[in-house]
Structure 1
Amino acid sequence: MNSLKIGWIDYSGEHRNKVMAVLDALSSPGALDELGIGSIRDGLADILFPGTSTIQTRAKYFFIVPYLLMELEKENYKSSKELIEKLDIEEIALIDILNKQEVDGVIGARAGHKLKRKPSSIYWSGLRTFEIFKHSSLSLANYAKAVVSMKKNKNSARFLGNEESDDVNTGIDEYNGMFWSCLLPEADWREGLTMELSYHEAEFLKGKIVKSERGKESLFAFLLKRDFKEIEKNHDFEAIGDAFRLPDHLKDDYSMAKRFSEFVSGANIRYNVILSNGENEEALQKWEKWKESSFVQQEFSSFPFRELTHRLGIHNIRLNRFLEGWQKAVISGEESVMDQLIINREIELKTKDRAKLHNTKVYHYKEGDWVGTEKLQYRFANAKVLLTDTMKGLEEPHA
C-alpha cells in the first residue's frame, strides 16, 4: 500500500501546531480510530487525566518549558515571531544535552534539529490546565504577542521618562509572576540538566495537579495520592477499579469510561473479523468471548450512550446514529446487520476509496494484523509516566 501524503496551507505557527497535533495523535500507538469514536474517548480522557496527551513523554517538560520562557521574557523582541523562533532554537539546543543521558522520553531524540513539534507546543495545554501558566485562554502564540507588546510599552514609557507610573509597573520585570506560577530556574539550570524531577519540582507539580480547578477531582490527582508501588503494578486502565477503592465521583466517571470501552470494543473486534474476511482466528475468538461477556448479556442494551455524548458536549448526529445502530444491531443478534453498519460507518468517515473494508486495493489482510485498539486506555499509559516521574522525585527529599 502506498503511503498517504498530506499537505496543507501553512497560514500561521498556531495553525501549523494544530495540524501537527493531529498528525502526532494519529502516529501514537492505538490511535487509529476506524469507527470515529475518538471524540468520546478523548472527552473522557480529559475528565480522568486532564492536562495530559498521548505525545507527552516526561514530567520534566512541565518545568523545562517555563524555565526557557521565563528567561526569554527578559529579552527584547521586534515581534512575537522572533520570540517563538528564539524559543525553537533553545528547545532544539536542549536535545543534545538531554540525549547524553541515554534515557527515554527526550522529545526530538531522533529528529534532532529537524524536530517539527516542540515541547512548548506539546505541553502548553497541560501548563494551562495545571495553572502553571496563569492565563488559560492564551495560546502560545498569543502569549508571545502579549510578552512583546508589554515589553514595547514598558520600553516606550522608559524612553518618555515615566518609569514610575503604575501602568509601567504592570509590565514585565524579571520573573514578576505576570504569566507564571512556577518554580524559578537556577541561573545554571541547563548544566547537568536531567529528565528526573528534583524533590522540589516533584512536590510542586503534584501540588499544582491536585489543587488545579480541573485536576483536583480527577483520577490523575487521586492516583498521585496513592502508594506508588500499587500504581506500578497496574499496566491497564481496567485494572484501576480493582486495585483502588475509588470515591463516588470518580467511581461514576471510571465506570462510564470502562463501560463505553466495553460497548465499542465489540465493534472494533468485529471490524477485524470483517477485515480478515473471517480468517483472523484471534478476532473470531475475541468476538465469541465478547458476545458472551457479562456486560453484553446484562448491560449492553441499556448503556446510555446519548447521556454520555450530551455530558461531553458532543453533538455529532452521525456518531450518535452509529452508536444507536450498533446497540440495536447487537441486541438483534444479526451479524450481517452489524457488519453492514460497520462497513457503512467507515465509508461515511473515509469515503469508499479510502475505506479498508470496502476497498481491497487499500488494504490486504496478513496473518496477525490488527487494526485499532480493542480496549480504550484513555491516556492511562501516558499519565502513568508522569505519575512515575513525580513519585520518584518525591522519594529524594534532599535532591
Structure 2
Amino acid sequence: MRELVALFSEPGTLDNLGIGQLRDGLADLLFPGISTVQTRARYLVLIPWTYQRAALRKSGAALVKAADREQREMLLALREAGHTQGLIGRVAGAAVRVLPSAIYWNALQTYKILRQDTRPQHLLQIRKASANDDEMRDVSPWSTLPLPESFPTDVTEQGFDLSTAEANWLRERMVVTCEGSLLAYLLSQPTMTDLDVDYFWDLDLDGAPQELRDLVEDTELFSLTLHGASLLYNLMVGEAYEHHELTSVEAPAQHYRDELAQWSDRYWNHPLAPTWDRSRLWNRFPALPPRTQQFVETWIDGINDLGARTPADSVDLRKLISDREFQNKGAQSRLTNEKQLRLWQGASGASRLQFRWPQASQILSDISEGLKNARA
C-alpha cells in the first residue's frame, strides 16, 4: 500500500487543473489495459494460473481466498529468488496488501484473458476439476496458456522473463483486442521499434495509419500545451509559499519562472503547436464536461494571444489557473488553503504528461525480449 501511495504522490500523476479525464482518455486510446501501477508483462500470464490452480482445490467463495494465497506464495518465491525488478510487494513480500490481480484485473478483461466482465469475488461458480479436464477449460472464465504442473515453483527460475510461447500469446491477445491503438500497432510490427525514448511521439511511426498518427500528434500537442498551465500553477503556488515565509523548498518561484520561459521557447519553436486545430481532440470525447473543454481552449487561446511572451505575468491566465484549481479542488486549493500550502514539497503535477508510456514501454519491452528468444 505504501508503494501505491508513493506512486500517486509523484509530481506527474496529480490533477490540479481537472484535466485527468482527457489525460486518461487519451492514454486509454493509445495503451488500452495499461495502468500507472503495472510493472511487468508476465503478471498477465501468472495471475490466471493462480486462479486456475486454486480452482483445482476450491470452488465458490473459497476460490478467491485460495487464489490470494497462491499469489502471495508466488510473490514470495519471486522475491526469494531475487526477481525484484517490477515485483509487486518487493518490500512487504507475502504480506503485501494490494495483490497483482487487483492491479491487472482490467487488463485481463481488456485483452479477453478473463472472458467474464466480473470482479474476483464474483467468480463463484467455478467447479473443482483436474488440470487435464477438457470440460474445465470449456467452463473456465479464463482464456490463457495451459497451467504448468510445476507452477508456482517454476517462477523462481524464469522470474519475469517471458518464454517465446508466452510472448507470442500475449502479443496476439493485445493485437486482436486493441485494434487501432498504438499498443497494437507496435506489437504488430515484424521487428519492434526502438522503445528507448522518453515520449512515445518520438518513436518512428512513419508507417503507422494516418488516424493513429493523428492521435499521437494530438496527444503530443495536448501534453506540450497543458504543461505550460501546470508550470504556471506551480509558479503561483511557489509565490504563495514564499509569501507565507515557508522555507523548506528553496526559491521555488524563480525555479518555475525559469521553467516557464523554457517551456515558452519549446512551444513557439514547435512546428505545429501555435496553429493546432483542436477539433480532432474534441471529436474523440463528445461526453467531456464543457468546463474542461472551455478551460483547455481558453488556456491555449490565451498563450497564443501572448505571442512569444511568457505567461508568467499574464493577469488573465493567472486568474484562469486559480479559478480552475478552486473549481477542481474547492477548499483544498493550495492557492487559498495555507494548510495545504505547507504540505507542498516543491512540485505538484509539474511534470509533462506521459500517458502511461513508462509502464507501456516496459510491457512492450518484456514481450519484445520474449520474442527475441525465438529468433536467437
TM-score (norm 2): 0.82
Identity, % of aligned positions: 27
Residue 247 and residue 265 in structure 1: after superposition, are their counterparts in 2 closer, same or farther (change >3 A)? same
Count of aligned pairs between the two proteins? 351
Distance in 2 between the 1:176 and 1:24 partners?
Answer: 41
Match of 1:57 in 2: 39
1:126 aligned onto 2:107: yes
Match of 1:201 in 2: 166
Q: 1:312 is matched by which residue type in structure 2? A: F
Match of 1:43 in 2: 25
CA deviation digits over 1:336-369, x for unaligned, max 9? 11111111211122223x2112223322498x92
Matched-pair contact (CA < 8 Å) for 1:50–1:220: yes
TM-aligned CA deviation for residue 319 of structure 1: 1.8
CA deviation digits over 1:151-203, x for unaligned, max 9? 39x9xxxxxxxxxxxxxxxx993333642221112111212301111111011
Match of 1:31 in 2: 13
Match of 2:210 in 1: 248
Specify which of 294, 312, 315 is matched with residue 268 of structure 2.
294
Match of 2:339 in 1: 361
Match of 2:84 in 1: 103
Match of 2:322 in 1: 343
Match of 1:273 in 2: 235
Query: What SS is found at the alignment partner of 2:363?
Result: helix
Distance in 1 between the 2:185 and 2:271 partners?
Answer: 32
202-211 or 323-332, which moves further after superposition? 323-332
Residue 89 and residue 62 in structure 1: after superposition, are their counterparts in 2 closer, same or farther (change >3 A)? same
Specify which of 278, 284, 292 is matched with residue 304 of structure 1.
278
TM-aligned CA deviation for residue 328 of structure 1: 4.1
1:78-227 counterparts in 2 under 5 A?
A: 79-80=60-61, 82-99=62-79, 100-135=81-116, 137-142=117-122, 144-147=123-126, 151=127, 173-176=135-138, 178-193=140-155, 194-212=159-177, 215-226=178-189
Specify which of 199, 202, 214 is matched with residue 236 of structure 1.
199
Specify which of 54, 70, 73 is matched with residue 72 of structure 1.
54
CA deviation digits over 1:110-140, x for unaligned, max 9? 12343222111211111111121223x3333
Query: What's the Cα RMSD here?
Result: 3.2
Match of 1:385 in 2: 362
Matched-pair contact (CA < 8 Å) for 2:76–2:94: no
TM-aligned CA deviation for residue 218 of structure 1: 1.3
Match of 2:289 in 1: 316
Distance in 2 between the 1:313 and 1:116 partners?
Answer: 38
TM-score (norm 1): 0.78
Name stretches of at least 5 consecutive residues in structure 1 with no aligned partner: 1-18, 155-170
TM-aligned CA deviation for residue 259 of structure 1: 1.3
1:330 aligned onto 2:330: no
Matched-pair contact (CA < 8 Å) for 2:83–2:160: no
TM-aligned CA deviation for residue 94 of structure 1: 1.4
Residue 116 and residue 313 in structure 1: after superposition, are their counterparts in 2 closer, same or farther (change >3 A)? farther
Distance in 2 between the 1:396 and 1:237 partners?
Answer: 25
